[in-house]
Chain A
Amino acid sequence: AQSVTQLDSQVPVFEEAPVELRCNYSSSVSVYLFWYVQYPNQGLQLLLKYLSGSTLVKSINGFEAEFNKSQTSFHLRKPSVHISDTAEYFCAVSRAGGSNYKLTFGKGTLLTVNP
C-alpha cells in the first residue's frame, strides 16, 4: 500500500513570491506521482505528473515538481505565484504498471496568495 504526506496544511504567500508545497510518499513498489489542483466547489484538475523519464516535470502555468526517489519526495514549486493560484493542492500516488489505477491522496495544502 502507498501513503502520501503533505507536510503543510496551509501555505500563505504574497503575490509574485516563490512557493514550495511539500509532498512525501511511502511505497514498497515503484510509483507514479501526481499533483492535482482543486478550486472551491470544483473537482480536481491534473497539474502535472511523473510516470518515468526526466525527474523534473513542468506544467503549462509555471509549476514544476521534481521526483526524488532517495528522499521519496515530489515537491511542487513555482518561482512567482499569482492571485489566481489560490486553491487546494493535492499530491497523489499510484502503483506503477499493471492495471490498477487507484490513487492515494495526501490531505491537501491550501495555497493562499495575498496581494
Chain B
Amino acid sequence: GAVVSQHPSRVICKSGTSVKIECRSLDFQATTMFWYRQFPKQSLMLMATSNEGSKATYEQGVEKDKFLINHASLTLSTLTVTSAHPEDSSFYICSATSGGAYEQYFGPGTRLTVT
C-alpha cells in the first residue's frame, strides 16, 4: 500500500517551453502533497506544499509563477515548470500524505533536462 507514482520519469525539453509533471497517489487519498527539488549529490529542498482544493504554499525563494502547482483531486497533483531554462534542470520528487499520518510517501522522481 501507499504507492505514489510520477509521470514522466524523464523529460527533455527545450529552453522556453513548459513541462508538466504528474504525481498520483495510487491506493490512498492524499490530502497533502509536497514537491521537492534535488540537485546532484544534494538533499531534497521543499518547493511547495499543496492541499487538495487549495492554493499551494510555496517556500521562500520559489517562484510561484514559474512553478505552477495544481492539486485538483485527492489523488493527483501536477507541477508545471513554465518557460523552462537550463538552470531548472533537476530531479523533481513529489510526496503525499493522508490526513492524520505523519509519514510521507515519495514518488520515484522525474528527471528534467532543459536544453
Contacts and interface: CB of A to CB of B under 8 A. Distances in A.
B104 A101 contact: yes
A107 B42 contact: yes
Interface in A77-115: 90, 94, 101-108
A45 B106 contact: yes
A7 B92 CA distance: 25
A2 B27 CA distance: 31
Contact of B43 (A42, A43, A90): A90
Contact of A44 (B6, B46, B97, B106): B106
Contacts, number: 49
A51 B102 contact: yes
B104 A105 contact: no
Interface residues on A, range: 20 to 34
A46 interface: yes
Nearest to B98: A101
A32 B101 CA distance: 12
A49 B102 CA distance: 10
Contact of A103 (B6, B46, B107, B108): B46
Centre residue among A45, A49, A101 by max chain B CB count within 10 A? A101
A89 to B, nearest CB: 11
A36 interface: yes
Given A49-B102, A101-B34, A108-B42, 9 more contacts: A34-B103, A41-B111, A42-B108, A43-B6, A43-B106, A44-B93, A44-B95, A101-B104, A105-B43
Interface of A: 32, 34, 36, 41-46, 49, 51, 90, 94, 101-108
25 contacts: A34-B103, A36-B106, A41-B109, A43-B6, A43-B95, A43-B107, A43-B108, A44-B95, A49-B102, A49-B103, A90-B44, A94-B102, A101-B32, A101-B34, A101-B97, A101-B102, A102-B34, A102-B46, A102-B49, A103-B34, A103-B104, A104-B46, A106-B43, A107-B42, A108-B42
